[in-house]
Amino acid sequence: SAVISQKPSRDICQRGTSLTIQCQVDSQVTMMFWYRQQPGQSLTLIATANQGSEATYESGFVIDKFPISRPNLTFSTLTVSNMSPEDSSIYLCSVKDQRYQETQYFGPGTRLLVL
Amino acid sequence: SQQGEEDPQALSIQEGENATMNCSYKTSINNLQWYRQNSGRGLVHLILIRSNEREKHSGRLRVTLDTSKKSSSLLITASRAADTASYFCATDLIDNAGNMLTFGGGTRLMVKP
C-alpha cells in the first residue's frame, strides 16, 4: 500500500489569507487527487493532479481558488486561496497507481479552520 | 453530486453485535471500495470488490455486491468499541475518464462497550 503524509495536519487561519497543503507519497504514483470534506459531510473531489499536465478541476472548483502543483511523481500541493469561513474543511490527498491495482489510498488529511 | 446513498446514516449497537451498512449507487461500476474514517481523520481502505465479484471477506468484514440491484453491504461481525467510526462506500464508475472515486454519504457507527 501507499504511505501518504500531509502537512500541516491542522491549521487555524484568518479570512483573506492563503494556505498551502503538502502531500508526500513514499513511492512514485501516476494519479493524485485532492478531496474536500466539509464538516459532517462526505468527500467531494476538488481536482485530479497528474504529473506533467495541468490539474483537472471538478465542477464548482476553480484554479484561482485552489491552485495545485504536481512537480514530480511523489509530491503535490494544494493552496486554498483568499480563505473564508466556508473553506473550513478537511482536505485529503489521495493516490492511485497501477501497482495497487484499483485501490485508492488516502492521506491523514489537513483540518482547516478559517476564522 | 454523490453517486451513492448509504443507510443507515447512523447506527448504534452494543459490543459483540453485528453491524450492517448498505450502499446503493446509480450507474455501472468497475469496482466499489469501502473505507473507515475515525473522528475526522484520514480514510483507511477496508475492502475493494470488483463488479464481477459477489462477496469478499477480510477478517471480521464481509462485503457483498449485487450489480443487478446496484447495491453493496458491509457487515462487521462481533463488533468492538474500536470499530466506532464513519464508514463510506466509494464507486469507481465505468464511464470514468478521470479514474477518481465517487463517495456515498457515509454511515456513522457507534459501538457501545
> Quick one: average pLDDT of A22-29?
94
pLDDT at A12: 97
**Nine-digit cell string for A51:** 504529473
The shortest C-alpha distance from B24 to chain A (Å) reads 15
pLDDT at B76: 98
Residue A14: band (very low, low, confident or very high) from pLDDT cuts 50, 70, 90: very high
Which comes out higher in pLDDT, residue A35 or A2? A35
Chain B residues whose CB is inside 8 A of the A110 CB are none
Summarize pLDDT for A63-99 with one digit per residue, the tens.
999 999 999 999 999 999 999 999 999 999 999 877 7
Mutate to test the interface with A, among B41, B44, B52 (most CBs of A within 10 A): B41
Give me the residues paired with residue A93 across strands: A34
pLDDT at A50: 83
Which comes out higher in pLDDT, residue B40 or A53? A53
pLDDT at B96: 63
Q: Does pLDDT of B2 surpass 80?
A: no
Q: From the list B48, B102, B106, which residue is nearest A103 (CB)? A: B48
The shortest C-alpha distance from A81 to chain B (Å) reads 22
In chain A, the residue whose alpha carbon lies closest to the alpha carbon of B36 is A106
pLDDT at B97: 62
Q: Do residues B65 and B74 make contact, with C-beta atoms less than 8 angstroms apart?
A: no
Q: Do residues A73 and A83 make contact, with C-beta atoms less than 8 angstroms apart?
A: no
Residues B80-104 as b/e (b if ≥16 CB within 10 A, e otherwise) read: eeebbbbbbbbbbbeeeeebbbbbb
Give me the residues paired with residue B91 across strands: B32, B102
pLDDT at B1: 42
pLDDT at B101: 87
Given 3-state DSSP classes, what are the helix, strand and coil percentages for chain A, each rounded to the nearest 5? 5, 50, 45
Q: Does pLDDT of B20 surpass 90?
A: yes
What does the alpha-carbon distance between residue B102 and residue B2 come to, in Å, rounded to a whole number?
A: 6
Strand bridging mode A75-80 / A89-96: unpaired
The shortest C-alpha distance from A43 to chain B (Å) reads 6
CB-based burial label for B74 (10 Å; 0-12, 13-18, 19+)? buried
In chain A, the residue whose alpha carbon lies closest to the alpha carbon of B37 is A108
Summarize pLDDT for B30-89 with one digit per residue, the tens.
999 999 999 878 899 999 999 999 999 999 999 999 999 999 999 999 999 999 999 999
Average pLDDT value for chain A? 93
pLDDT at B3: 58
**Nine-digit cell string for A95:** 493516490
pLDDT at B98: 59
Q: Do residues A18 and A11 make contact, with C-beta atoms less than 8 angstroms apart?
A: no
In chain A, the residue whose alpha carbon lies closest to the alpha carbon of B31 is A102
Strand bridging mode B5-7 / B19-24: antiparallel
What does the alpha-carbon distance between residue B44 and residue B58 come to, in Å, rounded to a whole number?
A: 14
How wide is the angle at C-alpha A32 spanned by C-alphas B91 and B25, nearest 5°? Answer: 10
